[in-house]
Amino acid sequence: MDHVIRPVQADDWPKVKEIRLAMLRDPAAPVAFLETYEHGLRHPDSFWQLMAAGALRPGTRTGQFVAEARDGTWAGTVTLLVEQAGRADFFGGAIEQPQGHLVGGSVCPERRGTGLIKELVAGALEWAWSMEDPRLSRVRLYVHEGNPRARAAYRKLGFVLTGEAVPSEDDPSAKELEMEVPRP
């Protein structure tokens, strides 16, 4: 593999900003992310600094992982939020068990189909399963019903549909489908 999968560090914030904005320019962004490119541009540097430090959601542990080439460029990223039992999740639902929530998975267009998303998700899952406090029972994600490419990619990585869905923020008539992988 010509990329190293590693956790993001706080001083990586300029690259966190760069890759996120690139993700938001992707034609699939409207159904893949809960943010537009125009909205992303409005964030101050302090937002990106908090994101890189894993501190955007107070009280929530966050691990962001990147695929970094030898020349230092980033080709993809994924973030795992640790959700604590008894709290509200990203969509306002009750969290019943400690679990991970995979968000923001993306690979730059020229690296798609190379297995890079598999490596990124594997890095995030390794981190998730290594935790003891809290010990996570599963890792889940939501994928827009209109994004079959992402759904197929996550299925190949062992995620299965749970039958749960929430209305999409950008189009309440559409659904975000929950997929999960249980703790091995």
Cβ neighbours of residue 183 closer than 8 Å, sequence gap 6 or more = 129, 135, 136, 137, 138
Which pLDDT score, from 0 to 100, does residue 59 have? 62
Higher pLDDT, 33 or 53: 53
Q: What is the pTM of this model?
A: 0.88
> Per-residue pLDDT tens for 41-64?
999 999 999 888 887 666 668 899
Evaluate whether 126 touches 141 at the Cβ level (below 8 Å).
Answer: no
Angular region, 132: left φ>0, alpha ψ -120 to 50, beta rest: alpha
Which pLDDT score, from 0 to 100, does residue 8 have? 93
> Per-residue pLDDT tens for 18-28?
999 998 998 87
> Per-residue pLDDT tens for 120-138?
999 999 999 999 888 999 9
Query: To the nearest whole percent, how much of the chain has pLDDT over 90?
Result: 62
Cβ neighbours of residue 137 closer than 8 Å, sequence gap 6 or more = 97, 98, 99, 182, 183
- For the structural domain made of 3-137, what CATH number should be given? 3.40.630.30
Residue 1 pLDDT > 90:
no
Task: Specify burial of residue 163 (Cβ count, 10 A radius: 0-12, 13-18, 19+).
Answer: exposed
When mean pLDDT is compared across 27-36, 66-75, 99-108, 127-136, the lowest value belongs to 27-36
- Local confidence band at 100 (pLDDT 50, 70, 90 cut-offs): very high
Residue boundaries of the structural domains of the chain:
3-137
> Letter for the amino acid at 94?
A
